[in-house]
A and B are shown apart, each in its own frame.
Chain A
Amino acid sequence: MRADHGVGEAVLRRARWGHGETAFWLIAVAAIFVFPDRYLILTEMAWLGLFALSLDLILGYAGIVSLGHAAFFGVGAYAAGLLAVHGIVKEPVLALVVAGLAAMVLGFATSFLVIRGSELSQLMVTLGIALLLRELANKFSDITGGFDGLQGIVIDPVLGLFAFDLFGKVGFIYCLAVLAVLFLLARLIVYSPFGLSLRAIRNNPLRAAAIGIPVNRRLIAIYTLSAFYAGIAGALFTQTTALASLDVFSFERSADLLLVLVIGGAGYLYGGLIGAVVFRVLQDMFSSWTPQFWQFWIGLVLVLIVLIGRERMYRGVQWLPRLVLRRIAAARGHAAAPDRSAS
């Protein structure tokens, strides 16, 4: 941020809805029509994107690291599954909210453990909570179905109108809609004064406290919100696959989530979404190409991303479109050099 702008002005500029964002969502909607035979993986991208978004909220904006985000995902997944199996809340959208709230309660309760301590202890505590929950789900197998997973989940039509089909079309549109709504909400939040205070805390908690920001309360709030998002992602997973098994709590799920965010980049909301798309595409490509060694190739790509650096890679990808944009701008006769201040 350059100093010669007023802070308020800079924030406003950042919060403005850009063309890139419009294009992103247009493409997402276009995917419904362009890839009618890939709805399942698109659905996975949608809930994984939402899950990554929830991690981005705490990691990218508040600087809380987590290796156990699957805890909330899992609670959301099992909550949605149990609500459906026992017919407590039949309607999926309502069940989604209830599942999200269940994860939120857990998020609030555990936030007190997580926000105290350094990054390393945050990693350990979050990891521990996820492992604990997995073991609890394993032990209480009469409720959760144990290792075999919850059996007999049947999800009612969305809003009583749209039944989930074998091709996954309804599932994808449903996930995409939920993702869009929650994304907009997250966008509002991170550009609000509350969101800005989080960034201040991330950059320097002591200083933030000194200028009167209630650090702990803010961290608890965002951690709880993030748990809500993760719970919704888990519930979407259960509702679209009619599955809930111990894997929803697995360490791999939390670790993959970090990878997704590393690929996409943290701290600008879209990172999780892009990361989810790239991660799933890579996974799908490599694993149909070589079912045995695909993990090696994913690993290699990750190492390359870290070595080359995301920024440099993006610049490579951007070269052509930026050239075109510059030509157009030049043709219009006024300077429109891309604003680099926020990069």
Chain B
Amino acid sequence: MFIRQKTLVQGAVAGLLLLGATALAARAEETVKIGLIVPMTGGQASTGKQLENAVKLYMKEHGDTVAGKKIEVILKDDAAVPDNTKRLAQELIVNDKVNIIAGFGVTPAALAAAPLATQAKIPEVVMVAGTSIITERSPYIVRVSFTLPQSAAIMGDWAAKNGIKRVATLTSDYAPGHDALKFFKEHFTAGGGQIVEEVKTPLANPDFAPFLQRMKDAKPDAIFIFVPAGQGGNLMKQYAERGLDKTGIKVIGTGDVMDDDLMNGMGDAILGAVTAHNYSAAHPSEKNKAFVAAYEKAYNQRPGYVAVFGYDGMHLIYEALKKTGGKADGDSLIAAMKGMAWESPRGPISIDPETRDIVQNIYMRKVEKKDGQLWNIEFETFKDVKDPGKTKK
């Protein structure tokens, strides 16, 4: 026992010393600090990586000084676990004295940080999480990403109008998936369509084979798919293996499944898939071409929509600081962000001054092959779409 008791003291002393060493945090007057909380490990790691890349790219292109203030980004990994997010956000606010928190790969993470943003009165810039309710949880939340109802509702309308009568749905079993299903179903059935089969796949490491078989057996005109970024590749591979691409069943969905950074790995089975989304790397604007070229040059891969969200998030922060003349308190920044509009690589976007949520074009796209690569080619545009999850109320 003696040995162990001594160990206790030494262990505790050593531990606390280490803790003290990591607690060093200096604060300079002329710096604006951004706490970037993203998942860098775990199942959502690709989201975090893209965000980090895009933020770095934006700062490389636009410099790290705005309105006389130096911008400092502090990157933290929350592995998409909300209690980590909350602790990291709290530490960033209390110890590092950040002016803005940003990032948030999944909805629970964004929700976990919401009370802190309210309490500390600092802006929370949501760069990914897409459940409708998020912006209602704090007056300091601004979202630059998307909401699922935006694209799912439009997809529902479009499908009903374009000769699709019977649809089977395959959606991930969590809040964004439920949002996508609900709004697609509402709009599709209102347009006279019929849902013949409805399956929900587990969020963690799903095996899609049995679900796809059920899709096939239901003999629909089309299957509507929502799975989170990153799962699309696996899903479409199994789709081809089961021979669904030969049955004439169309693939429709929100754009998450046809993520630009993964779609070349999915193979020709996805040719002709129609999705509704806010960004395609093939978007034909000068701004986007420059963005894609710069991103590919820097990281040697095609940017997906998450990268654009990170890029736009930084843009929003930079422009808000310009507008306030460098004043970095939460209320000034939020006031500056409300109603801000700019040209993003995805097209013209703005922040709704009432809901602080994103307003953007939703594009209907079809997968086509160009120069030996697969692209989402846009063929129809729905302008300035607000979040239907809120406009309905």
Contact = CB atoms under 8 A, between A and B. Distances in A.
B12 interface: yes
A143 to B, nearest CB: 15
A241 B76 contact: no
Given A287-B76, A292-B40, 18 more contacts: A20-B6, A21-B8, A27-B13, A35-B19, A138-B173, A147-B203, A148-B111, A149-B82, A149-B111, A166-B94, A166-B119, A167-B94, A277-B12, A278-B15, A291-B76, A291-B77, A317-B7, A340-B3
30 contacts: A13-B1, A14-B1, A20-B2, A20-B9, A27-B13, A28-B12, A35-B16, A35-B20, A37-B23, A38-B20, A38-B23, A146-B174, A148-B174, A166-B90, A166-B93, A166-B120, A245-B83, A247-B81, A247-B83, A247-B108, A265-B4, A270-B8, A285-B18, A291-B75, A294-B77, A314-B3, A318-B6, A318-B10, A342-B3, A342-B4
A148 B104 CA distance: 13
Interface of B: 1-16, 18-20, 22-23, 25, 40-41, 49, 75-77, 81-83, 86-87, 90-91, 93-95, 107-108, 111-112, 115-116, 119-120, 131, 173-175, 203
A295 interface: yes
B82 A247 contact: yes
Interface residues of A, number: 62
A78 to B, nearest CB: 13
A50 to B, nearest CB: 15
Interface string A322-343: 1000000000000000111011
Query: Sorted from nearest, which 9 A-B pairs have the closest CB atoms?
Result: A20-B5, A147-B174, A291-B77, A277-B15, A18-B5, A342-B1, A24-B8, A274-B11, A23-B9
A34 B4 contact: no
A40 interface: yes
Interface string A25-59: 00110010011011011101000000000000000
A21 B1 CA distance: 10
A213 B126 CA distance: 59
A268 interface: yes
Contacts of A278: 11, 15
A222 B108 CA distance: 35
A288 B203 CA distance: 28
Interface of A: 13-14, 18-21, 23-24, 27-28, 31, 34-35, 37-38, 40-42, 44, 138, 146-149, 151, 166-168, 237, 241-243, 245, 247, 250, 264-265, 268, 270, 274, 277-278, 281, 284-285, 287-288, 291-292, 294-295, 314-315, 317-318, 321-322, 338-340, 342-343
Residue picked from A20, A146, A237, A322, most chain B C-beta under 10 Å: A20
Contacts of A321: 6, 9-10
A295 B95 CA distance: 24
Contacts of A277: 11-12, 15-16
Contacts, number: 172
Contacts of A237: 83
Residue picked from B8, B16, B76, B116, most chain A C-beta under 10 Å: B8
B3 A241 contact: no
> Interface of chain B, helix or strand or loop or mixed?
helix
Contacts of B75: 291
A23 B8 contact: yes
A13 B2 CA distance: 10
Nearest to B18: A281
B3 A44 contact: no
B177 to A, nearest CB: 9
A230 B245 CA distance: 50
Nearest to B45: A292
Nearest to B172: A147
B87 A41 contact: yes
A44 B95 CA distance: 16
Nearest to B203: A147
Contacts of A285: 18, 22
A255 to B, nearest CB: 13
B4 A268 contact: yes
Contact of A40 (B6, B49, B90, B131): B90
Contacts of B203: 147
B115 A317 contact: no
A151 B111 contact: yes
B8 A288 contact: no
